[in-house]
A and B are shown apart, each in its own frame.
Chain A
Amino acid sequence: MIPDRPTKEDDVRYMVMHYQTQQDEDGIPPSLEKQAEIGEYIQGMALSGVFLTGEGVASSARGARVEVADGTTRVIDGPFAEAKELIGGFAILEVDSLDEAVEHARKYALQVGTHRVDVRKVNEFEDLQPQTSQ
């Protein structure tokens, strides 16, 4: 028999963040084939009814970083070293479980081509309520 569906979790949104490639950082637009793959992936996710929103970001050369040391802010203009340690974009998915979000992340990693995708639960209103000690 097919195993039963795992018990549904209470919280259902995950932010799926992919890391950028050196090519992304160099500002080289994806090939037509790659773009078609991305399009197919997004259409697949839309057909699953789980895609809420998502964005991609440009090369870090067009961004900046704010750092705080001893209460003082310092702005560093891009590009940054370690291009592959930077987030390239995100999608917010409404799913049943972490398992389901991970399955979409796997597809993304393979189909769109990146070395790493982080899957993180989106905090819901309830998660942000102060803990009462009872």
Chain B
Amino acid sequence: MPVTEQSSAPDDPPRDALDRRVATLWRMESPRLIARLMRLLGNLDAAEEIAQDVFVAALERWRRDGVPENPAGWLSTTGKYLAVDRIRRRDTQRGKYRLVAASTPATLEPDLDEVVDADLADDLLGLIFMACHPMLSPDGRSALTLKLICGLGNDDIARAFLTRPATIAQRIVRAKRTLAAAKVRFELPTGTERTARLDAVREVIYLVFNEGHTPTSGQHWVGAELCAEALRLGRMLAALTPADTETLGLLALIELQASRLRARTGPHGEPILLEDQDRSQWDRLLVKRGLAGLDRVEQLGGTTGPYALQAAIAACHARAPRAEDTDWERITALYDGLARLTPSPVVELNRAVATGRAYGAEAGLAVLQPLLADPQLRGYHLLPAVAGDLWCRNGTHERAREYFLQAATMTGNGAERVTMQARAAACAGGHPQAGAAPESGSGSGGIG
């Protein structure tokens, strides 16, 4: 992670209640508003522009007349009004929000409601599909999704990704340009195309989650914010596609992983491995939700999907009251399934850890051996860390020591380096502590 500049104005000036309320409503209502406008106008820039106008009009109007009892309704009606107005007069309309601020939405012609009375959920899903379009770069997708679907500003997104607002703005502009150039319009595909697009959305959500979840970013609070956004997105998508087992699987996976967020760092920010965590610190509500989500996946018959399998692995950890109660045989079987479905060196590495736990170090080393020469894992510090652990359990202490030292040089995390050096030193003394294996985590990207 690059070191970034400080955000320019950390201390906001005191804001009044209306400012705060409108900002909160932007966060809550702008995604739906933009989604509906997008569908009406077929143009993302125009939709965003009108959404902005609607909120500016709201500020002005509400400051004068007070906030209506149903602000969301007011925003939506005003949005429709401006959109239909724009459709009718495709010319420039400077100062149009003043027009709205002066007239009331009650003057709307009644038939306009029917024009735009489509399903809100469809609108939202269409906007999500657009923001997560497979043609966009991963960076572009994440930024656009956080902006449009989570209602975050460039500053928020930049802070979360430890970069500058200008960089985020550029990613968003580039993504929108790509969409415009390809003439991507509001679309709700069906069949296999729908599945593919949902896969792309899930990929973005898991990417955002992992960006926040990865300990190398160091600053816990920053990561926590991205995890929270990913959870919000996952819950939205699950509400939009309640019978999609892979979406439910993804949500269960990230809720179970998030349940351990609090327990995975010590008071000085040092990572605490899964097996050493104080399980009483795990978030019980998230565990319960994750397990319930997985039950639902089972009822729907979707346990063989990649996210469902990873969630099932995370659930094995969640169900174990103590580390020694972990059902490693089941975890190994689940990793075997995952390796068949989505083979990757990282899955193999996790499978080696699980196999070592379930069937002994020899069995684990058999899975690990081919990975030691895998070019994709070169530079990945968890490879020598796992190797060190398995050799250590095997009683081959000198070899274990070499691997632990190698892991210590490779890790970018200071606290982890200390842990690896300590384990290497313990091996040298011939009395290695029965340390925990580097966490096999719960998924392909989920080591740690």
Q: Which residues of A contact B (CB under 8 A)?
A: 1-8, 10, 12, 43, 46-53, 92, 94, 96-97, 99-100, 103, 107, 110, 125
Do B26 and A2 have beta carbons less than 8 Å apart? yes
Distance of A113 from chain B, by nearest CB (Å)? 13
User: Is A49 touching B239 in the complex (CB atoms < 8 A)?
Assistant: yes
B25 touches A47 (CB 8 A): no
* Residue total for B at the interface (Cβ-Cβ under 8 A): 45
B120 surroundings in chain A (CB, below 8 A) = 47
Q: Determine the distance from Cα of A43 to Cα of B239 in the docked complex, in whole angstroms.
A: 8
A96/B12 contact (C-beta < 8 A), A4-B153, A49-B239, A50-B235 known: no
> Which residue of chain B has its CB nearest to the CB of A110?
B69
Residue of A nearest to B224 (CB): A10
Beta-carbon contacts under 8 Å, B181-233 to A? 221, 225, 228, 231-233
**10 nearest interchain CB pairs?**
A46-B239, A49-B232, A49-B235, A49-B236, A3-B19, A99-B24, A3-B23, A2-B55, A47-B239, A5-B23
With a CB–CB cut-off of 8 A, which chain A residues contact B288? 53
Give the docked Cα–Cα distance between A110 and B67 (Å).
14
* Chain B residues, Cβ within 8 Å of A7: 12
Using an 8 Å CB-CB cutoff, how does the interface string of B153-168 with A read, 1 for contact, 0 for none?
Answer: 1011000000000000
Q: Which residue of A lies closest to B221 (CB)?
A: A10
Residues of A with C-beta under 8 A to B262: 125
Whether a CB of chain A sits under 8 angstroms from the CB of B28 is yes
Contact call A2/B23, Cβ cutoff below 8 A: yes
Listed by A's residue number, 29 A-B pairs whose Cβ atoms lie within 8 Å are: A1-B56, A2-B23, A2-B59, A3-B19, A3-B22, A4-B155, A5-B24, A5-B27, A5-B153, A6-B20, A43-B121, A46-B235, A47-B32, A47-B121, A49-B232, A49-B239, A50-B235, A51-B235, A52-B285, A52-B289, A96-B24, A99-B20, A99-B24, A100-B27, A100-B28, A103-B24, A103-B25, A103-B28, A110-B70
Contact A125 B239 (CB under 8 A): no
Question: Please, what's the 1-or-0 string for B5-19, where 1 marks a CB less than 8 Å from any CB in chain A?
Answer: 000000010010001
Task: Type the 1/0 row for B386-416, where 1 means its CB is closer than 8 Å to any CB of A.
Answer: 0000000000000000000000000000000
Closest to B236 in A: A49
B40 at the A interface (CB under 8 A) = no
**A111: nearest chain-B partner, CB-CB:** B70
Is there a chain A Cβ closer than 8 Å to B438's Cβ?
Answer: no
Q: Which residues of the other chain, B, contact A47 by a CB distance below 8 angstroms?
A: 32, 120-121, 124, 236, 239-240
Separation of A63 and B221 alpha carbons in the complex (Å): 43
Q: Write the nearest CB–CB distance from B101 to chain A, whole angstroms.
A: 15
In the assembled complex, the Cα of A97 lies from the Cα of B26 at a distance in Å of: 13
Q: Is B156 within 8 A of A6, CB to CB?
A: no
Query: Given A4-B155, A49-B232, 5 more contacts at CB 8 Å?
Result: A46-B236, A49-B239, A103-B21, A110-B69, A125-B262
Rounded to whole angstroms, the CA-CA distance of A12 and B225 in the bound complex is 11
In the bound assembly, the distance between CA atoms of A103 and B281 in angstroms comes to 30
Q: Of B12, B32, B55, which one neighbours A4 at CB under 8 angstroms?
A: B12
Which B residues lie within 8 Å of A1 (CB)?
56
> Which of B15, B124, B151 lies in contact with A6, CB distance below 8 A?
B15
Closest A residue to B16 by beta carbon equals: A3
* Interface check B52, CB cutoff 8 A: yes
CA distance A5 to B64 in the complex (A): 22
In chain B, positions 230-255 with a C-beta closer than 8 Å to chain A are 231-236, 238-240
The proximity string for B residues 250-279 relative to A, scoring 1 for CB distances below 8 Å and 0 otherwise, is: 000000000000100000000000000000
